[in-house]
Structure 1
């Protein structure tokens, strides 16, 4: 607060006047000049302080005007440009506000090229480069054997086998079983046959039934040769009858020799492979390909739900933010919930998770282990320490563990195969600390839908 110099001067003059009228001597001239000089110094100091206060006040007013103008500018355009989902992939997250994330996933048979996550930065630009989904070339490892030709398909391959070979990778020779030779010559017929050595006669015995057919026999110089159509073999001692070969029974032992990936149905002279519901038979007729009900719109998910394709089926999911005492959560994207700011003095609120992220995955049964299933990273660490830990029940701890892959990344590891069908949930917690004081907790919930089949 500034002291008025006018008030000080008035008080001094009145004091001198009172002393003069009361008959008392005023101060000497030297004392008076000293007092006036002190008053002058006091006025100068007050004037300097007054001017400095005015300058400080003017600066604060300018700062307030500048800060009041900034939100108006941001309100015009405070979001990053819209990002499109990659071709043959999809995007998770709709918010385009600063510090919000979007995630990218590729369809089965495609691999992601580029960042899995992009963040809207303060400069209203997205971090990283645009992600793309590239077709995985299953033929790159030359899986077809014995001069077979590999045909690359989405999420799988098929082999066109060379003549004489069969199997999923042309690993099995085609069996030969339809030639039989029977000597039916006799002395009487031998003489007659010798007179016509080049003569040949063909006889056919008619036997009804799709799985039993007559053989084709030719007699040359008294020796009869009987053959069967492909898929049939001579029936015991009776060379005139051919019976169907049950290929499904013949090749049912051993994974390498199986004719069909799922089920084999024997047919007259051949066989047919079938697949379970939710799968289509591939071009080679032996393997099974999952039907993507989500992409083909063969699902009953509502607009408020997200369709997750699984092996042989699909799941309709929707995220509901958790209800935790002392904290309130809001959905910032379809797969993410964030906590509202906590009051400064509310310690219980500050100990609750900062955010929850939800992810869904599809797995085949008995997937080999160990293998990395999911990674959690801190893009902009604020503290000096990051800790990763596995949450969840006994089922999750039986099959999974969490390991650190680098200073900023933790990964969820599958350590033992899971027999399907099953739904397994695992939670990865990332804690951020500064000098052992917790700054934030981030929970990532991964739900895995395990198929009952191994394909």
Structure 2
């Protein structure tokens, strides 16, 4: 049993949790000292008296209990003088209070119980020398519970902002990926990964991470940082009217010879070689433009018994016996047609230019319709329309003889006129 016992505790970690030797005062909202001498029965045993201390208490001999306890200026008892008649020398014996020792010069020096190992601290505690005594405490990172120094789990009380690793008497803080530890060794700061340019195109810093973005025409690869070209041509076959060519970050449309790319960048427009003069026709020929190309038409030459009556018409006179079974006139016309054009489609109009009283007209395809792609639909007594009934794939040239038969039963007359229609079918559907 110790002669002088002192129990000290470290400060509490939370407002309502106090360590041994203190109690939480709700009114003052803090931990205050507990007077163990009043609350503990038989705090000191034997002839020891109890003296309350901040966070603990002292046990002193009762012979010294009534004396003022001033550790800084240890009190010395009054010298005792002996009676000379008793035969004792005229001297006195000084004495020191508990915790001090008499020095050669007659002064009382403090005894360092910690250095002399004369203390009674628990092996888990640390001895701290005081004037006339000592205290048992715990090192930093430990607190006193039930007379034992137990490790404080700093991680439990949120000492670290992010990651915490507890250790005996200590702890260490670390940060999640994307953060770095601040100089206070507790809080974490976001790392701006974009400063290291991890993305091949654009970078956007986020809290604890970053995001990469790509320029238009590119997409993010599986690694999340690299941008790869986007093949727009693979999205749809209708992106370009003719052919799509992928380029880094974009695409371009190209058109076949005889066409140019329209203002929309995707459609193909016919290049009119006849208007621009970009053709090989002679001055004697006539340049005829069609979709995707052109042709040079030679001057009209009427085969006998036909004679030329205009630049595009041949006539066979009724007075000529050789013309008896032939059409009265042959009119030459030219037109172009897109390959694969949707059907049915009205493509050509034919009508009588001269009308006779009592006459009626019959319209028909006399020749050239071997594949039965066309038929004539009469629209009135004097007119008819040529109808495309089946799609035609080009490039192809079709020559149709469209006949208009004139019948007059009053005068017993029957005659015919022919339009020789040459159709240039383009190679492409535009």
Q: TM-score range by the shorter chain?
A: 0.5 to 0.7
Write the distance in 2 (CA, Å) between the matches of 1:189 and 1:444: 84
Contact 2:365 2:402 (C-alpha < 8 Å) held by counterparts:
yes
Decide whether aligned partners of structure 1 residues 189 and 321 sit closer, same or farther in structure 2, where only a CA change above 3 A counts: closer
Matches within 5 A, 1:161-240: 187=176, 190=179, 192=181, 195=187, 200-203=192-195, 214-236=200-222, 238-240=223-225
Decide whether aligned partners of structure 1 residues 302 and 204 sit closer, same or farther in structure 2, where only a CA change above 3 A counts: farther
Structure 2 residue 348 is matched with structure 1 residue 356:
no
Instruction: Tell me the TM-score normalized by structure 2.
Output: 0.54
Contact 1:215 1:239 (C-alpha < 8 Å) held by counterparts:
no
2:230 to 245, 249, 255: 245
Aligned to 1:406: 380
Aligned to 2:12: none
Write the distance in 2 (CA, Å) between the matches of 1:284 and 1:385: 51
Contact 1:280 1:288 (C-alpha < 8 Å) held by counterparts:
yes
Aligned to 1:380: 354
Unaligned runs of 5+ in 2: 1-173
TM superposition shift of 1:415 = 0.9
Structure of higher CA gyration radius: 2
Decide whether aligned partners of structure 1 residues 445 and 202 sit closer, same or farther in structure 2, where only a CA change above 3 A counts: same
Deviations along 1:305-338, one digit per CA (max 9) or x if unpaired, are: 22110111101113544435xxx22212111111
Structure 2 counterpart SS, 1:202? helix
Contact 1:425 1:446 (C-alpha < 8 Å) held by counterparts:
yes
Structure 2 residue 391 is matched with structure 1 residue 391:
no
Write the distance in 2 (CA, Å) between the matches of 1:302 and 1:320: 14
Aligned to 1:340: 317
Decide whether aligned partners of structure 1 residues 204 and 379 sit closer, same or farther in structure 2, where only a CA change above 3 A counts: farther
Aligned to 1:441: 416
TM superposition shift of 1:440 = 2.4
TM superposition shift of 1:217 = 3.0
Contact 2:368 2:401 (C-alpha < 8 Å) held by counterparts:
no
Contact 1:200 1:218 (C-alpha < 8 Å) held by counterparts:
no
**Equivalent pairs, count:** 252
Decide whether aligned partners of structure 1 residues 286 and 189 sit closer, same or farther in structure 2, where only a CA change above 3 A counts: closer
Write the distance in 2 (CA, Å) between the matches of 1:393 and 1:380: 26
Structure 2 counterpart SS, 1:187? coil
Write the distance in 1 (CA, Å) between the matches of 2:177 and 2:311: 93
Structure 1 counterpart SS, 2:372? helix
Structure 2 counterpart SS, 1:401? strand
Write the distance in 2 (CA, Å) between the matches of 1:315 and 1:195: 83
TM superposition shift of 1:401 = 0.8
Write the distance in 2 (CA, Å) between the matches of 1:353 and 1:205: 84
Aligned to 1:99: none
Instruction: Tell me the TM-score normalized by structure 1.
Output: 0.51
TM superposition shift of 1:251 = 2.6
Matches within 5 A, 1:69-108: none
Aligned to 1:69: none
1:303 to 268, 277, 283: 283
Structure 2 residue 430 is matched with structure 1 residue 450:
no
Structure number with the higher helix fraction is 1
Deviations along 1:13-54, one digit per CA (max 9) or x if unpaired, are: xxxxxxxxxxxxxxxxxxxxxxxxxxxxxxxxxxxxxxxxxx
CA RMSD of aligned residues (A): 2.5
TM superposition shift of 1:304 = 2.4
